[in-house]
Amino acid sequence: MNSLPALIGLAGKAHAGKDTAAEHLAKVYGYKRLYFGRRIDEYACRFFDIPEKEKSVLSRRIKQGIGEMFRSVENEYYWIKFISSEYARMKGDDGESRVVVSDVRRLNEIDWIRSNGGQVWLLERADCPPVEYGAGHQSETEIESFTDWDLILDPSEGAENVWAEVDRVLAFHKAVRHGV
């Protein structure tokens, strides 16, 4: 029996360490990575010539605009439908694959993670650098009032601490699952 969570959603402010934690989960624990914003990145690249992982003020504005436009024109689940089909493919026939979603920013994304049996972890860095643009945008503020996190991590002071926090939590998770 698999003792690690099959699906983990990572939430937190920009620069909190979500991608760093997801990268560590992939390298060390074999998690496959997904993110809600993948299609947004693809659209920004295709239509605005913005490199996929660009972190500039302009790229942030464009990506937030794309995200909101499709949410308002189509529906609030527009981006979830893409990740749902990707998640189904990643799980595979055996249903044993572990997946981490590194950009949970909306309440309906939390609902989707939970409805698929996943856990939602908040990365809350005390020393998180401020965002240059869009800190007040709904994609940065919507989950501020949410309090029912499965786990809250403080990965302050860099990547090594993010990795250590993730390792500590998963070691505890394994121990609890095995009755240690």
Report pLDDT digits (tens) over 101-150: 999 988 999 999 999 999 999 988 877 766 666 666 666 767 888 889 99
**What's the whole-number mean pLDDT along residues 30-46?**
87
Domain membership flag for residue 45: yes
Q: Which residue has the tokens 């998640």?
A: 87
- Read off the amino acid at residue 99: V
Residue 1 included in any domain: no
Q: Is the pTM of this model over 0.75?
A: yes
* CATH number, domain containing residue 142: 3.40.50.300
Q: Specify whether the CB–CB gap between 95 and 7 falls below 8 A.
A: no
CA distances to 32, 50, 59, 73, 116 from 41, rounded to whole Å, are 18, 8, 9, 18, 24
Residue 63 domain-assigned (yes or no): yes
Task: Specify whether the CB–CB gap between 7 and 118 falls below 8 A.
Answer: yes
Q: How many CB atoms lie within 10 A of CB 8?
A: 27
**Residue 165 domain flag:** yes
Domains in the chain, number: 1
In a domain, 149, yes or no: yes
Task: Determine, yes or no, domain membership for 2.
Answer: no
Question: Residue 17 falls within a domain, yes or no?
Answer: yes
Average pLDDT over residues 18-39: 89
pLDDT above 70: residue 175: no
Per-residue pLDDT reduced to its tens digit, 152-168: 887 776 667 777 777 87
Angle, in degrees to the nearest 10, between helices 159-177 and 18-29:
50
**Domain for residue 164, yes or no?**
yes
Instruction: Note the Cα 49 to chain centre separation in Å.
Output: 24
Show the domain range for 101: 7-177
